[in-house]
Amino acid sequence: MPTASLVFNPRDPDVIQRPLETLLRLQAEDPVHWSPLLKGWVLTRHDDVKAVQMNSGISSDRLTPFFESQQGDERNRLSDLIRYLNTWVVFKDPPDHARLRGLLNKVVTPAVMRGLEDGIAELADGLLDRIAARGDGRFECISEFANPLPASVIMDLLGVPREDMDLLRDWSMQLQPFLGNATDTGDKYETGRAGVVAMADYFRDAAKHRLAQPRGDVISHFVMLQETGQITEDELIGSCILFLFAGHETTTNLIGNGIRALLANPDQNARLAADPSLIASAVEEMLRFEGPTGAVVRVVKEAFELRGKVLNQGERVYAMVNAANHDPEVFESAARFDIGRTPNRHLTFNHGIHFCLGAPLARAEARIAITRLFARFPNVAMATDTVDYMDTLTMRGVREMPMMTGAAP
């Protein structure tokens, strides 16, 4: 077991702000670390995290055993959350995973993703026009740019009105502490339940309208799948919530984290400005350097040994993705932000059957958004020296990021 001086405490405010400092110590000294606070294993080496992502002996269904361990009122409070979230393909093992993934693959095709790029550029320009039109030289990057851009794309795909964005974003934020494994955030069960029930009611109503008047959107496609018996109503609603939540939360954090990384490394920012063709490589480095995925959580299905320690059936495993992306055995000068890094074998989008379905869209949105922002405001700068990171293990990002355009008001 770990020594008292080497305990990972995810509730520590300093760890929330700077998790890599502790995680890289674990990587060097205790890469398979038992956390009494998390009641699970914390893995930090690249090879181990990748093995967890690929291992069929590790279950993605972390919700069912958690729910089954609850009793009485706590179980009742969680029932609505589990009802809808347990339909998500990200929490499924084969064969259910293969069935749902196959149906989603027909919606999120490479051709559909490529066809969205012009619209993404138009959205980015429109958001930047609005910021410039105010003329005060300041803006809040997350709420005014990094979030509404991917949120608008997902809402268009789903076929729901953009004017509902604030409503849906509020519900999504209520769900975020529960899904993100927040360690010190109020009553995340009740807050998450309120968010998921509100979204379920919203998408149930939208599905009823599509049944009467089908369109060419994702909700209509899901309604058709339900009508033909390929998915249940709960899977329809759960998949809509997944599209909304996963489709914008990760990309919002990618864009915000990527902008900060460029501004914190002016040599790389200048390099990109001099050679814009590096933007695709730069996005890969943003995904590695401070990616939007802090960890993936799994449950041991069959006991196995890893680096001399036995991981028993039913125990949770926290595969720390951002720590793995800084493993010096895989990445030369891992602490350096290098937009031309090659090879770049980061694990941010997962591996194997759970490789991120929306990876091509997230990459395109980040590439276009960051290119457009720095082209419009080449002297853009942070308006504060510090930012406050969200209290989550599985997501890495900030809620607010005040900035200056660098243009004269």
Q: Along the chain (409 residues), what's the average pLDDT of each consecutive run of 10 residues?
A: 67 92 96 93 97 90 85 82 91 92 84 84 97 95 96 94 92 85 70 92 97 94 95 96 89 97 98 98 98 94 94 95 98 98 97 90 96 97 94 92 82
Asked whether residue 7 is domain-assigned, the answer is no
Q: How far apart are CA 402 and CA 383, in angstroms?
A: 5
What total number of domains does the chain contain? Answer: 1
Q: Residue 302 is part of a domain; what is its CATH number?
A: 1.10.630.10
Nearest to 158 by CA among 216, 88, 227: 216
**What's the whole-model pTM score?**
0.93
pLDDT at residue 55, as a whole number: 84
Helix, strand, or coil here: 296? strand
Locate tokens 């864009």: which residue? 255
Asked whether residue 69 is domain-assigned, the answer is yes
Asked whether residue 90 is domain-assigned, the answer is no
Helix, strand, or coil here: 189? helix
Asked whether residue 142 is domain-assigned, the answer is yes
* Domain extent at residue 357: 13-85+96-404
Q: β-pairing, 58-59 with 296-300?
A: antiparallel
pLDDT at residue 409, as a whole number: 44
pLDDT at residue 76, as a whole number: 81
pLDDT at residue 133, as a whole number: 96
Q: How far apart are CA 53 and CA 63, in angstroms?
A: 17
CA 149 to chain CA centroid, nearest Å: 15
Asked whether residue 348 is domain-assigned, the answer is yes
